[in-house]
């Protein structure tokens, strides 16, 4: 048995070498695979020709019922999984048969944080660097563990739970620094990105998203491309009074890093917590993209995707760093599928928008002016106090929410997991009464044109159009993974883990998990030389909270209005966290 | 069949009578409730328990997102003492008091504004409570926005160390604000604790904000479907309204007349 297995592995390895000569180490050390956030692996042992034979190699229930959005992290013969709150870290020994748990770490976060987190108690994974494993807890701590033993090396408290702050994002490690950001913009939190010394946990810098330039770390080297983003202390002057002090702009998405340009890239979340009428102005530096130096945190450029955001269009979605042949020239760009519905191609050296093309049905704006960078808003879709606004598309979760895209350098396509939702913003007669149970969320979401709520779109950024798409019943709330075997993996909220052909979207294989999938699939080469694919199932998150949080389907506005459009999810899947690992050989004897 | 049903109802009623009154409450949300029992909703809950002749028990949780789901929804308690009468997530009793958002001003500062058109509102530093969800302020916050008053308004997010109303009225007491809009029960309670003499005024909401009233009626909420407990609480309110009124008066809760839905 063992002999035949090795024989298969050897043959497939040979095929892999032929398909893609590469130096991929086969590890998956951070949520985005690499600092460019490509989520592309050059492993090709599993490919379009054999993925149909993929078998379950490991299945472990996590014992946690909340939404599992994390990417398993693989380094040094170990796989690390961070669960949703209470953020237990599990380390699986990949060198041993059956991948037994090597150690588990309980950070013991404060239980009261669960009432603060807006959209389920998710965690998006950790990061490995130099023998350490870094992750964030929902109660605002960044923790470093000895990756070999699970022993705590340091922990640093970064935010205040009582003020509505929490942390859900996956850290990025660059130049010996752990880069993290906060969540909680809806509750009047002031957003920030922070760098910690990877060795000691000491805070090296903190860059706020609102306030005077010195707080935002804007100095003499700040060169935003568009005039709308130029000026002194815009983080104060584009707000009424002192509203910037509680103005939101949190940094809860993925962070990318270009070592050649020595720049970090990340997006800032929506402004808050005021209604838009009460915060006239562009509300800098919320709902936009920053490029910063990792050593000092100083801002180099910024571009605001949604000035004076009206619809909760956070700018936090990932920026995938790729080099493109653009109109005859080689350009270093970032690809950013924004919540506002546009796929931005931006020169990542300067912040110039090269193109911005809608990748979903959009009614709230009619395009982006490439001369000024301005989003051309549709005044008919601006919510006004005391009035109902219908057919707001995309809905508040945007054309795409947190769920990360993957880029294949072989197909030159960006694989975008996303949703197709619109909403009505309704003013209800019952309003908020301070100190009584929460009322007053006034959004009601429903499917966009076509009736399908989810999509996997393969996007060609050079042609500025989709190459193909797969329609799904529910929002595609999982991440995507692309490989040199020309296979793209993603999961559905019903619980189907799917492998499709990267070139045409043809379904090649699928596996029904015990719960809906909103996690980030990864792939790695085990110490045994086999290629594995791993993903967490466990429905939840903002989209799936109706299942993981037992929300009442009769409350159309529950879960920030998302429940109205997810009423049939409870009959399609059930809650519960599960780790699945697949390979061509399946479970070892 | 009918008889059998009646029998089941009778047994259920007996079980409710024997069981303690289980109340869902915030452990730190004065003047409503506090873990030491010092809030007016604690006092009303005790009044109910005594009236029913049962013990009083609490399920404590901060009144943030998911409060109803994680307390009553999880089966930990059976009644929430204060909910808006039109609140959709619970089955609600008849209202037992009606109050209003009020403007709090230092006594003698000036005659109170008669409407949101008063130009002083734009000049004053005005505090309002922020509900802390997207596109949502308290009703006076919406009214100020409608009136174009944005420059000097100061928001107090509901998330924070202590109730937003407490922080806001303390700022007013220290002179850091010129005025504050707060929900009546909180305004009345925290104004009493201030060093300065703070007065409460009703300012009618702008006509354009017809869906954002300032006055609300407050009821008790039970699990949807728990008709039996609601009927008993309705009966309690009818019989003991005078006692409830005395408790509310003890806490300085400003009440407005009938006619509030």
Among B44, B60, B65, the strongest candidate for a mutation testing the A interface, having the largest count of A CBs within 10 A, is B65
Contact at CB, A246 and B130, closer than 8 angstroms: yes
For A199, phi then psi, to 5°, come to: -80, -35
The pLDDT tens digits of the residues spanning A210-242 come to 999 999 999 999 999 999 999 999 999 999 988
The pLDDT tens digits of the residues spanning A430-474 come to 456 766 665 444 678 999 999 999 999 999 999 999 999 999 999
Answer left, alpha or beta for residue A390, where phi above 0 means left and psi between -120 and 50 means alpha. beta
Which range (A168-177, A282-291, B139-148) has the least confidence? B139-148
Q: From the DSSP assignment, how many helices (H) and strands (E) are in chain A?
A: 4, 38
Q: Is A237 on the interface with B (CB under 8 A)?
A: no
If DSSP states are collapsed to H, E and C, what string results for A33-101? CCCCCCCEECCCCCCCCCHHHCEEEEEEECCCCCCCCCECEEECCEEEEECCCCCCEEEEECCCCCCCE
In sequence order, which residues have a C-beta less than 8 Å from that of residue A451 and are 6 or more positions away?
Answer: none
Given a cut of 80, is residue A268 above it in pLDDT? yes
Q: What is the pLDDT of residue B69?
A: 82
Q: What is the pLDDT of residue A162?
A: 77
- Chain B residues lying within 8 Å of A439, measured CB to CB: 84, 87
For residue B33, being part of any structural domain is answered with yes
For residue B4, being part of any structural domain is answered with no
**DSSP H stretches of helix in A444-502:** none
Contact at CB, A164 and B157, closer than 8 angstroms: yes
Helices B184-192 and B164-173, axial angle in degrees (round to 10): 50
Alpha-carbon distance A160 to A188, whole Å? 12
Give the confidence band of A7 by pLDDT, cuts at 50, 70, 90: very low
Which range (A331-340, A509-518, B83-92, B154-163) has the least confidence? B154-163
**What CATH number did the domain enclosing B41 receive?**
3.40.190.10
The most confident of the ranges A155-169, A395-409, B147-161 is: A395-409
For residue B225, being part of any structural domain is answered with yes
Alpha-carbon distance A138 to A106, whole Å? 13
SS3 call for A346: strand
Pick from A210, A217, A362: nearest CA to A271 = A210
Residues B144 and B242 in one domain: no
The pLDDT tens digits of the residues spanning A359-393 come to 999 999 999 999 999 999 999 998 776 678 899 99
Q: Is A243 on the interface with B (CB under 8 A)?
A: yes
Q: Quick one: closest CA in A to B64, which residue?
A: A115
Of residues A144 and A109, which shows the higher confidence score?
A: A144
Pick from A544, A553, A554: nearest CA to A576 = A544
Give the confidence band of A4 by pLDDT, cuts at 50, 70, 90: very low
Containing A11, the helix (H) or strand (E) segment is helix A2-19
Alpha-carbon distance A144 to A483, whole Å? 30
Q: What is the pLDDT of residue A192?
A: 98
Closest CA–CA distance from residue B2 to any residue of chain A (Å): 30
Residues B36 and B121 in one domain: no
Q: What is the pLDDT of residue A277?
A: 79
Residues B91 and B105 in one domain: no
Contact at CB, A385 and B212, closer than 8 angstroms: yes
Q: Is A4 on the interface with B (CB under 8 A)?
A: no
Contact at CB, B87 and A436, closer than 8 angstroms: yes
For residue B74, being part of any structural domain is answered with yes
Answer left, alpha or beta for residue A247, where phi above 0 means left and psi between -120 and 50 means alpha. alpha
Residues B35 and B125 in one domain: no
Closest CA–CA distance from residue B4 to any residue of chain A (Å): 31
Q: What is the pLDDT of residue B145?
A: 83
Contact (CB, 8 A) for B85 and B79: no
Alpha-carbon distance B34 to B14, whole Å? 30
Contact at CB, B145 and A385, closer than 8 angstroms: yes
DSSP A109: -
Cα-Cα-Cα-Cα dihedral of A558, A560, A561, A565, to 10°? -90
Residues B121 and B174 in one domain: yes
Residues B80 and B147 in one domain: no
Bridge partners of A500, per DSSP, are A488, A507
Alpha-carbon distance A189 to A161, whole Å? 10
The pLDDT tens digits of the residues spanning A27-60 come to 999 999 999 999 999 999 999 999 999 999 999 9
Residues B128 and B202 in one domain: yes
Q: How many residues in chain B?
A: 261
Q: What is the pLDDT of residue B143?
A: 87
Stretch A502-515: mean pLDDT: 98
Containing A7, the helix (H) or strand (E) segment is helix A2-19
Q: Is A278 on the interface with B (CB under 8 A)?
A: yes
Residues B88 and B105 in one domain: no
Query: Among positive and negative, which fits the CA dihedral A309, A311, A316, A320?
Result: negative
Q: From the DSSP assignment, how many helices (H) and strands (E) are in chain B?
A: 8, 12
Nearest-Å Rg of the Cα atoms of chain A is 22
Contact at CB, B157 and A246, closer than 8 angstroms: yes
Residues B171 and B222 in one domain: no
Give the confidence band of A187 by pLDDT, cuts at 50, 70, 90: confident
For residue B239, being part of any structural domain is answered with yes
SS3 call for B108: coil
Contact (CB, 8 A) for A135 and A106: no
Give the confidence band of A395 by pLDDT, cuts at 50, 70, 90: very high
Which range (A15-19, A147-151, B115-119, B208-212) has the least confidence? A15-19
A312 is catalytic: yes
Contact at CB, B146 and A112, closer than 8 angstroms: no
Contact at CB, A243 and B155, closer than 8 angstroms: yes
If DSSP states are collapsed to H, E and C, what string results for A147-174? CCCCCEEEEEECCCHHHCCECCCCCEEE
What is the mean pLDDT of each successive set of 10 residues along chain B, which is 261 residues long?
44 59 93 96 98 96 79 93 89 96 89 93 91 66 85 83 89 96 95 94 86 87 96 98 97 81 44
Which residue, of B209, B226, B242, is where some domain finishes?
A: B209
Q: What is the pLDDT of residue B63?
A: 76
Residues B117 and B171 in one domain: yes
The pLDDT tens digits of the residues spanning A104-143 come to 999 999 876 666 666 678 999 999 999 999 999 999 999 9
For residue B9, being part of any structural domain is answered with no
What's the whole-number average pLDDT of chain A?
91
Catalytic residue among A34, A93, A146, A186: A186
Catalytic residue among A312, A318, A424, A472: A312
Among B32, B90, B159, the strongest candidate for a mutation testing the A interface, having the largest count of A CBs within 10 A, is B159
Stretch A562-584: mean pLDDT: 94
Given a cut of 80, is residue A8 above it in pLDDT? no
Alpha-carbon distance A229 to A223, whole Å? 9
Residues 506-565 of A with CB under 8 A from B: 549-552, 555, 560
**DSSP H stretches of helix in chain B:** 2-18, 40-52, 67-70, 120-123, 139-146, 164-173, 184-192, 227-250
Stretch A410-420: mean pLDDT: 98
Stretch A271-294: mean pLDDT: 91
SS3 call for A400: coil
A270 is catalytic: yes
Residues B66 and B25 in one domain: yes
Residues B156 and B169 in one domain: yes
Total of domains in chain B: 2
Q: What is the pLDDT of residue A121?
A: 86
Contact (CB, 8 A) for A217 and A211: no
Pick from A471, A431, A466: nearest CA to A454 = A471
Alpha-carbon distance A113 to A532, whole Å? 35
Residues 382-411 of A with CB under 8 A from B: 383, 385-386, 396
Give the confidence band of A79 by pLDDT, cuts at 50, 70, 90: very high
Stretch A271-277: mean pLDDT: 79
Closest CA–CA distance from residue A423 to any residue of chain B (Å): 14
Residues 120-139 of B with CB under 8 A from A: 129-139
Q: Is A439 on the interface with B (CB under 8 A)?
A: yes
Among A163, A437, A546, the strongest candidate for a mutation testing the B interface, having the largest count of B CBs within 10 A, is A437
Stretch A568-587: mean pLDDT: 95
Domain that holds residue B117: 99-209
SS3 call for A530: coil
CB pairs under 8 A between A and B: 201
Alpha-carbon distance A42 to A22, whole Å? 7
Q: What is the pLDDT of residue A498?
A: 98
Contact at CB, B89 and A437, closer than 8 angstroms: yes
Among B74, B135, B162, the strongest candidate for a mutation testing the A interface, having the largest count of A CBs within 10 A, is B135
For residue B104, being part of any structural domain is answered with yes
Contact (CB, 8 A) for A470 and A27: no
A275 is catalytic: no
Query: Among positive and negative, which fits the CA dihedral A424, A428, A434, A437?
Result: negative
Residues 158-187 of B with CB under 8 A from A: 158-161, 163-165, 182-183, 185-186
Given a cut of 70, is residue A300 above it in pLDDT? yes
Q: Is A451 on the interface with B (CB under 8 A)?
A: no
Pick from B212, B215, B219: nearest CA to B257 = B215
Give how far the C-alpha of residue B187 lies from the chain's centroid of Cα atoms, to the nearest Å: 11
Q: Quick one: closest CA in B to A425, which residue?
A: B135
Alpha-carbon distance B152 to B125, whole Å? 5
Facing A440 at nearest CB: one of B66, B133, B155: B133
Q: What is the pLDDT of residue A436?
A: 66
For residue B6, being part of any structural domain is answered with no
Q: Is B218 on the interface with A (CB under 8 A)?
A: yes
CA distance readout (Å), B93 to A450, A493, A560, B223: 43, 39, 26, 11
Location of structure tokens 């592309």: A40
Stretch A504-520: mean pLDDT: 98
Alpha-carbon distance A402 to B234, whole Å? 47
CA-based angle A237:A240:A245, to the nearest 5? 80
């Amino acid at each position: 048995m063992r002999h035949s297995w090795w024989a298969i592995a050897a043959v497939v390895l040979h095929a892999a070498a032929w398909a893609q000569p590469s130096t991929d180490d086969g590890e998956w050390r951070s949520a985005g695979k690499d600092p460019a956030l490509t989520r592309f692996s050059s492993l090709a042992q599993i490919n379009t020709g054999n993925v149909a034979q993929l078998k379950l190699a490991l299945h472990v229930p996590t014992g946690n019922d909340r939404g599992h959005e994390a990417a398993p992290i693989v380094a040094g013969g170990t796989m690390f999984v961070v669960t949703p709150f209470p953020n237990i870290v599990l380390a699986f020994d990949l060198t041993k048969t059956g991948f037994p748990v090597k150690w588990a770490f309980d950070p013991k976060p404060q239980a009261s944080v669960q009432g603060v987190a807006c959209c389920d108690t998710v965690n998006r994974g950790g990061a490995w660097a130099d023998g350490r494993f870094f992750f964030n807890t929902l109660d605002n701590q960044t923790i470093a563990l000895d990756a070999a033993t699970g022993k705590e090396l340091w922990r640093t408290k970064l935010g205040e739970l009582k003020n509505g702050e929490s942390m859900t994002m996956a850290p990025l490690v660059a130049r010996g620094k752990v880069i993290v950001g906060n969540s909680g913009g809806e509750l009047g939190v002031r957003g920030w990105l922070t760098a910690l010394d990877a060795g000691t946990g000491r805070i090296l810098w903190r860059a706020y998203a609102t306030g005077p330039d010195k707080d935002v770390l804007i100095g003499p080297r700040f060169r935003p491309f568009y005039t709308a983003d130029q000026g002194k202390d815009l983080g104060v002057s584009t707000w009424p009074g002192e509203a910037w002090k509680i103005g939101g702009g949190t940094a809860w998405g993925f962070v990318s890093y270009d070592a050649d340009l020595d720049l970090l890239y990340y997006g800032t979340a929506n402004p808050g917590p005021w209604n838009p009428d009460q915060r006239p102005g562009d509300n800098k530096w919320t709902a936009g993209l920053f490029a910063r130096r990792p050593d000092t945190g100083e801002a180099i450029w910024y571009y605001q995707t949604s000035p004076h955001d009206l619809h909760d269009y956070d700018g936090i979605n990932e920026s995938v760093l790729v080099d493109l042949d653009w109109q005859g020239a080689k350009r270093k760009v970032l690809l950013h599928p924004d919540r506002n519905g546009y796929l931005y191609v931006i020169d990542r050296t300067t912040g110039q928008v090269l193109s911005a093309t809608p990748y979903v049905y959009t009614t709230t704006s009619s395009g982006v002016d490439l001369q000024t960078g301005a989003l051309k808003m549709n005044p008919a879709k601006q919510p006004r106090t005391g009035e109902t606004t219908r057919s707001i598309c995309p809905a508040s979760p945007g054309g795409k929410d947190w769920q990360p895209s993957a880029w294949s350098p072989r197909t030159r396509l960006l694989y975008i997991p996303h949703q197709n939702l619109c909403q009505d913003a309704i003013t209800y007669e019952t309003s908020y009464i301070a100190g009584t149970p929460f009322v007053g969320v006034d959004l009601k979401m429903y499917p966009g044109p076509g009736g399908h709520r989810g999509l996997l779109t393969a996007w060609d950024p050079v042609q500025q159009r989709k190459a193909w798409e797969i329609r799904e019943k529910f929002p595609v709330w999982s991440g995507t993974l692309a490989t040199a075997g020309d296979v793209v993996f993603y999961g559905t909220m019903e619980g189907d883990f799917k492998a499709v052909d990267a070139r045409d979207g043809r379904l090649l294989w699928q596996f029904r998990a015990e719960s809906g999938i909103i996690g980030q699939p990864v792939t790695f080469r085990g110490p045994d030389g086999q290629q594995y694919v791993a993903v967490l199932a466990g429905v939840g998150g903002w989209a799936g909270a109706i299942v993981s949080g037992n929300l009442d389907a009769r409350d159309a506005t529950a879960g920030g209005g998302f429940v109205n459009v997810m009423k049939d999810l409870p009959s399609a899947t059930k809650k519960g966290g599960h780790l699945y690992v697949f390979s061509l050989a399946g479970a070892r004897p | 069949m009918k008889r059998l049903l009646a029998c089941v109802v009778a047994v259920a009623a007996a079980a409710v009578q024997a069981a303690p009154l289980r109340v869902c409450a915030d452990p730190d949300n004065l003047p409503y409730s506090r873990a030491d029992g010092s809030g007016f909703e604690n006092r009303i809950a005790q009044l109910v328990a005594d009236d029913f002749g049962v013990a009083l028990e609490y399920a404590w949780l901060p009144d943030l997102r998911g409060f109803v789901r994680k307390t009553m929804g999880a089966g930990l308690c059976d009644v929430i003492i204060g909910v808006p009468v039109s609140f959709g997530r619970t089955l609600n009793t008849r209202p037992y008091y009606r109050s209003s958002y009020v403007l709090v001003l230092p006594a003698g500062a000036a005659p109170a504004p008669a409407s949101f058109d008063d130009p002083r509102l734009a000049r004053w530093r005005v505090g309002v409570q922020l509900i802390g969800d997207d596109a949502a302020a308290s009703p006076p916050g919406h009214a100020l926005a409608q009136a174009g008053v944005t420059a000097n308004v100061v928001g107090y997010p509901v998330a924070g160390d202590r109730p937003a109303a407490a922080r806001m009225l303390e700022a007013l007491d220290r002179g850091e604000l010129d005025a504050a809009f707060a929900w009546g029960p909180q305004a009345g309670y925290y104004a009493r604790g201030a060093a300065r003499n703070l007065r409460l005024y009703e300012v009618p909401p702008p006509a354009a904000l017809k869906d954002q009233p300032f006055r609300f009626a407050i009821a008790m909420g039970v699990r949807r479907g728990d008709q039996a407990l609601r009927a008993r609480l309705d009966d309690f309110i009818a019989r003991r309204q005078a006692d409830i009124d005395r408790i509310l008066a003890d806490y300085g809760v400003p009440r407005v007349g009938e006619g509030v839905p």
